[in-house]
Amino acid sequence: MHDRAFNIGSEVNNVTVAEIADQVAEAVSGAKVVITGETGADPRSYRVDFSRFRAAIPGFDCEWTVKRGAVELADAYRRYGLTREDFEQRFTRLAVLRAASGAGTVDDTLRWRR
């Protein structure tokens, strides 16, 4: 195993960006996923091969999932008070977008109306 790179994980976590977004939305109450399709299909592939790791460490099975990670992050944000308002105070661009949303100058996907 010395001087070798390994992808650590499981093929069960080879999911699309949309599937990740859906799992995050499930973990965050009130969140919704809006896929506009305005940029077309995404041809990139994020399929990861874990066979080298499985061959080096037979019998090891990863238990962590995308959904479990999303839930962990959402819980941590709530536990430490990392609210949307907190982010907006720290990242003023978000406050600008929220004000623009309230004024109707951006749509619900935070894109400027023309």
Distance CA 96, CA 93 (A): 5
Digit-coded pLDDT (tens) for 72-110: 999 998 898 888 777 777 777 777 877 888 888 887 776
Contact assessment for residue 9 and residue 47, using Cβ atoms and an 8 Å cutoff: no
**pLDDT score for 63:** 87
pLDDT given for residue 44 in this prediction: 66
The whole-number pLDDT of residue 72 equals 95
Reported as a single tens digit per residue, the pLDDT across 2-60 is 898 998 888 888 888 888 899 999 998 888 898 877 777 766 667 889 999 999 999 98
Q: Are 97 and 110 in contact (CB under 8 A)?
A: yes
Do 49 and 9 form a contact (C-beta atoms < 8 A)?
no
pLDDT of residue 68: 93
Q: What is the pLDDT of residue 71?
A: 95
DSSP string, the chain: -TT-----S-GGG---HHHHHHHHHHHSTT-------TT-----------HHHHHHSTT------HHHHHHHHHHHHHHTT--HHHHHHH-HHHHHHHHHHHHTSB-TTSPBP-
User: What pTM did the predictor assign?
Assistant: 0.64
